Structure 1
């Protein structure tokens, strides 16, 4: 059984200038991975004929399957379809089934007149196999060159996904005996990527060639992912589980979870298991911790709410921080966040509370307190833990690092109270 490699090409000037985020290639890669197909490369190109042509050339030279999205619409900048016609040596013809489908959409669904530009959506190269798009007017198209399958799909995500589910993946299952790809992912916190790599270097060196270790750092955390490829899924999973257990033992001190899930979901699981709750008092993060805790379905069972005390007057009036504290040691202090955490926990009647106060930048620093200084407090009924950090990045990253460290302190407290 040979490894099957795929290339993904996304087309559109809007992708290159950052006006639109390319979520298509990420989603496609995940679907291919589930089918045991390895993604060789992903490339985004603008609406430029030479660049698209070169991208297709490159993809065909290194892959068995090439998936293209974008540039199939009815406007002048949608050049993918005529380019593919030239590339594969065909001529444009009207596909009657597609024309009937486009006519139906305009007449019965949109209830709008259909102009000639819309009719052109039904024209396809005569050298392709048409893949019906029930979610839109631009059909998918299948080409073959040098035994490489090339499939073009619309860039509209829900249309692309429909074609992937209903055409591409079933066809790939017929064409390829691609084996299996399995993954295991864990999350660490409290150790940097380079130090983590040093700690597990012996483990990484001893991995067999068909199992790869990836480091995925992000804002104070590092995910470690083991990926394995093989022909026998049962044996592969058994071997991968064994290696994953070894990896976990190597990073046990910093292990947050052995699942591929974010910190806030880990906390949610812990609190749900204990039927406990948490509240937050946020100054410098402005509600970002509340956003993280409430972004997943079911969070209302463990997260009650937040007091966003950005101004000192709110810290005084709603969180009972003494005016004297704010005048002497200031809002960014151990004393302030400790009182904030105690007050919000009591006022919201939760088992735990988080409080943060800091200087996120670029302004706000003093001679005593630099940009990036943050105090965090985590409180339970019987204990309050405080810690200060000195971050050194821009405002956005400092806010993210504050939130993640606060959540990790909460996680540690919950685990210690188990």
Structure 2
């Protein structure tokens, strides 16, 4: 079963707003066994909309349209759908009563322009809107389904979840679609691809598709398959992931199952610290507090995160962390001895069980032949040891900061999982 999504509105095409509706609809459809073939955006223009509808019906079984259902003159979707299906408008009393109720909730009377919201194409079925005044519309035409929804996100989301998806499931026999994502850190996309090339080739035998989803500091590998037996699909994907672990186990830090709650790297670290009743502190240089920011985005982080020192200058490293001037002059701030001293000092200063320290050349300037832009040292200190690692990232400052934070959290995760207290 294939679907296509069409968003209508000049505001999307000029970049005034970001189309988040399509992502939500595509996610919901995929979770329920409908594959999205294409997503497109068109202007508030009758001819453009008609052409998009004609093209979509050749590719998809279900066409979902959002936007253009307001009461003003530039909202032309209803009129265009009337033309497309060669029908006329009718006045729908149920829709009108919904509009009356919405206005009454604000202590207002329905205006003449809003009364027009109850005018809908003669041949459509109504999708009621309990959060706004624009109804949704469902059209059955020659074995295809056309669904028109308002562009207001919270209105559209409620209608999709409560009415559209149940009706699609009732009308069509849908396969199960299963996605599982392997979360990796420490390998770039191209190197990772070379490393698992033979394994990737073997996926076709089991009708599994692989997608690489890179982001700063990590690469997500999404495995997707479909069929009639979800239990069997899960088993097949899990078997292939076990084969993958033989190749890259040290780079895998977690998994995501489509439609289930996701756990970020910072959430995972927080869970491990919380379960072990351990505490954490950080000393940051090149990241300027970004590691601390990620850690504190997790609700309840105050239970395990004590604090941080942003030691951007030599002076702060010396004064606040006790890094000796001689050490800084001999090795430089971006070095193994200095970052290890930073990690030990912050852990002792705040009396925590673990600490993270990071120092690097974020760029775009400041690099040398010996330490080019993207050079970063990260250290993790525990009560009985310090481990450190050198990284060489790229030239982009912001990406280097994000990659450093991801690498630091992943190093801490490994220490937490490998410790004798691992649960």
Contact 1:210/1:230 (CA < 8 Å) preserved in 2?
A: no
Secondary structure of 1:251's match?
Answer: helix
Instruction: Say whether 1:163 aligns with 2:159.
Output: yes
CA distance in structure 1 between the partners assigned to 2:320 and 2:388 by the alignment: 20
Out of 384, 394, 397, the position equivalent to 1:395 is 397
Note closer, same or farther for the CA distance 1:397–1:47 as it changes in structure 2 (3 Å cut): farther
After superposition, residues 317-336 of structure 1 pair within 5 angstroms as 317-323=319-325, 325-326=327-328, 329-336=331-338
CA distance in structure 2 between the partners assigned to 1:314 and 1:73 by the alignment: 58
CA distance in structure 2 between the partners assigned to 1:298 and 1:403 by the alignment: 20
CA positional deviation for 1:356: 1.7
**Unaligned runs of at least 5 residues, structure 1:** none
Q: What RMSD in Å do the two structures reach over aligned CA positions? A: 2.4
Question: Which deviates more from structure 2 when the two are superposed, residues 23-32 or residues 9-18?
Answer: 9-18
Query: Partner residue of 2:128?
Result: 132
Query: Partner residue of 2:184?
Result: 188
Out of 292, 295, 298, the position equivalent to 1:293 is 295
CA positional deviation for 1:325: 4.7
Query: Partner residue of 2:148?
Result: 152
Out of 387, 393, 415, the position equivalent to 1:385 is 387
Contact 1:98/1:139 (CA < 8 Å) preserved in 2?
A: yes
Question: Which deviates more from structure 2 when the two are superposed, residues 202-211 or residues 401-410?
Answer: 202-211
Instruction: Say whether 1:16 aligns with 2:16.
Output: no
Secondary structure of 1:227's match?
Answer: strand
After superposition, residues 54-65 of structure 1 pair within 5 angstroms as 54-65=51-62
Query: Partner residue of 1:353?
Result: 355
Query: Partner residue of 1:214?
Result: 211
1:39-80 deviation per Cα after TM superposition (whole angstroms, max 9, x unaligned): 112223333333332222222111111112222223343332
Secondary structure of 2:6's match?
Answer: strand
Contact 2:91/2:119 (CA < 8 Å) preserved in 1?
A: yes
Out of 62, 65, 69, the position equivalent to 1:68 is 65
Aligned residues between the structures? 414
Instruction: Say whether 1:82 aligns with 2:96.
Output: no
CA positional deviation for 1:160: 0.8
Instruction: Say whether 1:97 aligns with 2:94.
Output: yes
CA distance in structure 2 between the partners assigned to 1:239 and 1:328 by the alignment: 55
Give TM-score scaled by structure 1 length.
0.90
Secondary structure of 1:206's match?
Answer: helix
Note closer, same or farther for the CA distance 1:14–1:302 as it changes in structure 2 (3 Å cut): farther
Instruction: Say whether 1:25 aligns with 2:17.
Output: no
Contact 2:284/2:311 (CA < 8 Å) preserved in 1?
A: yes
CA distance in structure 1 between the partners assigned to 2:136 and 2:41 by the alignment: 19
Note closer, same or farther for the CA distance 1:331–1:169 as it changes in structure 2 (3 Å cut): same
Query: Partner residue of 2:277?
Result: 275
**Unaligned runs of at least 5 residues, structure 2:** 258-262
CA positional deviation for 1:85: 2.0
Give TM-score scaled by structure 2 length.
0.89
Secondary structure of 2:174's match?
Answer: coil
Query: Partner residue of 2:408?
Result: 406
CA distance in structure 2 between the partners assigned to 1:353 and 1:79 by the alignment: 59
CA positional deviation for 1:185: 1.9
CA distance in structure 1 between the partners assigned to 2:93 and 2:340 by the alignment: 71
CA distance in structure 1 between the partners assigned to 2:395 and 2:45 by the alignment: 37
CA distance in structure 2 between the partners assigned to 1:230 and 1:259 by the alignment: 20
